[in-house]
Amino acid sequence: MSGAALGIEIVVVFFLALFLLHRYGDFRKQQRMVLFGTLLAWYLCFLIVFILPLDVSTTIYKQCLIDHEAHAPTPSPMYSVSPVLIEHKTVCEHIFCPFFQSTQRVCYKPWSYIPDGIMPVFWRVVYWTSQCLTWLLLPFMQSYARSGGFSITGKIKTALIENAIYYGTYLFIFGSLLIYVAVHPQWHLSWYELQTIGITAANTWGLFLLVLLLGYGLVEIPRSYWEASCQGHLLIKTYFKAAKLMTEKADSEENLEDVMEEVRKINESIKYNHPLRKNVDTILRKCPVEYQEKMGRNMDDYEDFDDKHNTHPTERSLSKLHKQVIYAVQRHNRTHVQWQILLEQAFHLEDVAKNETSTSRQFVHSFAPPEPVGWFRRYIYTPTVEWYWECLLKQWFYRILSVLLSLFSVAVVWSECTFFSTHPVLSLFAVFIQLAERDYNYLYIEMACFITIFFLCTCIYSTVFRIRVFNYYYLASHHQTDAYSLQFSGMLFCRLTPPLCLNFLGLIHMDSAISHQAKEQTAYTSIMGSMRVLSFIANGFYIYYPMLIVILCIATYFSLGTRCLNLLGFQQFMGDEMTSDLIDEGRELLRRERRKRQRIEDGESRRKEWRERYAQRDEIAGRNRTSMSEMKETNYGETLNSNTNRQVKYTPSSSQTGRDSIELLQDAEPLDFNAETLTDDPLQSEPGRHAGGRYFSMSSSRSRIFDDV
């Protein structure tokens, strides 16, 4: 089991990152390089979070061995036992411990023990790969993805120009540091110390942003679950979101119309034989299908491209237009999908409000589900079960979960303010880990570490997913996130995860740079280097800056940031009174959409009913026609045989002509002939004209033409 736990977590984390990328990205439309870079960044960050508890349990076991060797009593000469070979506590207590002169707790290996030499190499590869991604590759790939170039060379050139200032700043800082070290001979910095300075600088930047995001998430996540338990409040907030989203949707449609108008003008000005025509065709392929059908390719105009009367755009202007088209189409599609999702959420909340007073205790939906009902909803999640969950149990579940998360947030805030105190131990998470360490309960240690770091990651990463910087950075689910936002999130994850793990190790007193304890270091902290090179950061910034989280939590609790944005003109949800206009507007928009959808469903149901009714009438009419035609053919055959006998009797010479007429009439099956109108002697009819009689189908059609209406 030593390496199985590591292998299982590596595979599970990969599929978790792949699932999230599939939810937010689009595998079919986005570039493979963008998807690969984002997947690698997310995967490495999640891997650090999931593997770190195994590193902690392995380090505690090594510390136990060190302490045992330092304080182990002298065993009897007849029984020499190495403590490294003792793997199980029960075996130790019942077999080997009686031979020692004093009772000692003997170490045993955890179930997830990782052999020596694996974790340092693993952390070094994961850490430096993530740092290369966040500081070098992902910024370049961001510019490459947003570039409007029409070739790989053009996109690379644009990306290098945009990142020249970005990379130049790093080179300037690094060069200044080297010059400063060279000028002062008393500074003898080795490559290891320079590496530690770089790691410390990156972690300091990440910790600065980490505390800001963590202070928001510790309050907002429990509050969001508490608000989710209040259906009325959640419905009002949904009305507010609907009004804002409709404004954004109208703005995106207007922006798309403006961009498509520019594309139309350029499509008309650049003819088929122009050198830039292939670039125009590339732009047209990025436009929506309806606009492509309107504009066409303009292949009928044979004007020369060097006509002096027309001013043609340059390749640079086409690249800029290409970039605008990509952005406008992406924004239009995103707002359209978000509007449909918000409508479904609002209709569901309105259905919950209506079903709360239902006496039948069965959940009734206003509209039929778009997808057919599966076996889960048919046999397990029945309307009765759905009513109990949506109208009764869900509210209490969210309230209990909100209270538990609030207690966890209070524990995190207290531990962030007191983790530097080792005597006495004030950090709650350090107390829990040390209690489990006394009994060598490695499973409890790993679970406690995993739950703690998972909660911290949830508070931080959820803030990254919720945050929105105008329209430049926005993570939208249902495959609506653009390439720039995906890569920007990967950059943030890679910069936030290493300081988050160091902060967690400080909370449980596993980082000697903060706790100042002579204990075995984890393999993760060993690759970070000693912080003694920059003692003012290790003893000052890393200890006192996390205390700022108290102020940030108080500001988030009273919604100071939301109030400031509202004062600056950015509409934010502030309750019923301050945003009543937008709430009323959203309620009216949803009422209009409900009526529209109701009319569509009523029309579909009427058409279905008419089709079923006409199908039944056509089936009954078809049976009647078939039976009547069979009866008439039988009567007509008998009459025709008798008339034929008469014809043979009275006019023997015309037997061949009568036989031909009979065969001709018998072959005419689709026509219903009325034999009752035949004369006694069909041979007395006018020459050149068929024997008398009339068609039953024509006469019946006059009387039954409106029967089916």
Q: Report the 3 state secondary structure along 612-655.
A: HHHHHHHHHHHHHHHHHHHHHHHHHHHHHHHHHHHHHHHCHHHH
- The whole-number average pLDDT for the span 202-222 is 91
**Residue 635: band (very low, low, confident or very high) from pLDDT cuts 50, 70, 90:** low
Q: DSSP letter at 673?
A: B
Residue 513 domain-assigned (yes or no): yes
Question: What b-and-e string marks burial along 498-509, b requiring 16 or more CB atoms within 10 Å of the CB?
Answer: bbbbbbbbbbbb
**DSSP labels for 228-252?**
HT-HHHHHHHHHHHHHHHHHHHHHH
Q: Determine the residue type at 160.
A: L
**In the numeric block, which tokens belong to residue 661?**
């007429």
Please report which residue ranges of 372-440 form alpha helices under DSSP H: 375, 383-388, 394-418, 428-438
- The per-residue pLDDT for 13 is 93
Of 58-72, 412-426, 633-647, least confident by mean pLDDT is 633-647
Residue 665 domain-assigned (yes or no): no
Predicted confidence (pLDDT) at residue 338 exceeds the cutoff of 80: yes
Q: How far is CA 362 from CA 330, 357, 369, 572, in A?
A: 41, 11, 16, 36
Strand partners, 468: 474
Cβ-proximal residues to 702 (8 Å cutoff; 6+ apart), any chain: none
- The per-residue pLDDT for 105 is 57
**Residue 130: band (very low, low, confident or very high) from pLDDT cuts 50, 70, 90:** very high
- The whole-number average pLDDT for the span 88-111 is 51
Of 71-85, 130-144, 150-164, 392-406, least confident by mean pLDDT is 71-85
Nearest to 297 by CA among 280, 314, 310: 280
- The per-residue pLDDT for 127 is 92
Cβ-proximal residues to 172 (8 Å cutoff; 6+ apart), any chain: none
Predicted confidence (pLDDT) at residue 476 exceeds the cutoff of 70: yes
Please report which residue ranges of 508-579 form alpha helices under DSSP H: 512-515, 523-528, 535-536, 542-544, 549-557, 560-567
- The per-residue pLDDT for 684 is 41
* 3-class secondary-structure state, position 27: coil
Residue 261 domain-assigned (yes or no): no
Q: DSSP letter at 474?
A: E
Between 587 and 657, where is the model more confident? 587
Residue 75 domain-assigned (yes or no): no
**Residue 171: band (very low, low, confident or very high) from pLDDT cuts 50, 70, 90:** confident
- The per-residue pLDDT for 538 is 66
Identify whether the C-beta of residue 206 lies closer than 8 Å to the C-beta of residue 495.
Answer: yes
**In the numeric block, which tokens belong to residue 664?**
């001709």
Q: Tell me whether strands 473-474 and 468-469 are parallel, antiparallel or unpaired.
A: antiparallel
382, 386, 387, 389 alpha-carbon torsion, rounded to 10°? 140
Q: Name the domain count of the chain.
A: 1
Identify whether the C-beta of residue 211 lies closer than 8 Å to the C-beta of residue 553.
Answer: no
- The whole-number average pLDDT for the span 461-475 is 81
Q: For 255-312, what is each residue's pLDDT tens digit?
A: 999 999 999 988 888 877 888 888 888 898 889 888 888 876 544 544 444 545 557 7
- CA 24-29-32 angle, to 5 degrees, is 85
- Crossing angle for the helix pair 138-146 and 152-162, to the nearest 10 degrees: 120
Predicted confidence (pLDDT) at residue 639 exceeds the cutoff of 80: no
Give the domain range for residue 522.
2-70+106-225+380-578
- The whole-number average pLDDT for the span 546-570 is 88
The Cβ of residue 482 has, within 10 Å, a number of other Cβ atoms equal to 26
Identify whether the C-beta of residue 347 lies closer than 8 Å to the C-beta of residue 366.
Answer: yes
Identify the helix (H) or strand (E) that includes residue 468: strand 468-469
Residues in the chain: 709
Q: For 369-396, what is each residue's pLDDT tens digit?
A: 777 777 888 888 898 999 999 999 999 9
Between 447 and 655, where is the model more confident? 447
- The whole-number average pLDDT for the span 572-589 is 82
Q: What is the rounded distance in angstroms from the CA atom of residue 226 to the CA atom of residue 520?
A: 42
Give the chain's mean pLDDT. 78
Residue 637 domain-assigned (yes or no): no
**In the numeric block, which tokens belong to residue 78?**
């007849």
Q: Determine the residue type at 223.
A: R
- Phi, psi (degrees; rounded to nearest 5) at 276: -90, 10
Identify whether the C-beta of residue 400 lies closer than 8 Å to the C-beta of residue 422.
Answer: no
Residue 604 domain-assigned (yes or no): no
Question: What b-and-e string marks burial along 518-538, b requiring 16 or more CB atoms within 10 Å of the CB?
Answer: ebbbbbbbebbbbbebbeebb
- The whole-number average pLDDT for the span 109-135 is 89
Identify whether the C-beta of residue 390 lies closer than 8 Å to the C-beta of residue 354.
Answer: no
Query: Which single residue is written with the structure tokens 């430096």?
Result: 128
Distance of CA 645 to the CA centre of its chain: 87
Between 633 and 28, where is the model more confident? 28
- The per-residue pLDDT for 480 is 84
Please, what is the end-to-end C-alpha distance for the chain in angstroms? 78
Predicted confidence (pLDDT) at residue 92 exceeds the cutoff of 90: no
Identify the helix (H) or strand (E) that includes residue 473: strand 473-474
| Residue 77 preceded by cis peptide, ω within 30 | no
Query: Which single residue is written with the structure tokens 């034929």?
Result: 644
Residue 692 domain-assigned (yes or no): no
**In the numeric block, which tokens belong to residue 181?**
């070290």
Predicted confidence (pLDDT) at residue 505 exceeds the cutoff of 50: yes
- Greatest Cα pair distance, the chain, in angstroms, is 144
**Residue 111: band (very low, low, confident or very high) from pLDDT cuts 50, 70, 90:** confident
Identify the helix (H) or strand (E) that includes residue 666: helix 655-667
**Residue 88: band (very low, low, confident or very high) from pLDDT cuts 50, 70, 90:** very low
- The whole-number average pLDDT for the span 130-149 is 88
Residue 160 domain-assigned (yes or no): yes
- The per-residue pLDDT for 630 is 60
**In the numeric block, which tokens belong to residue 79?**
């029984």
Q: What is the pTM of this model?
A: 0.76
Nearest to 9 by CA among 55, 51, 43: 51
Q: How far is CA 92 from CA 74, 87, 88, 89, 612, in A?
A: 16, 8, 6, 5, 80
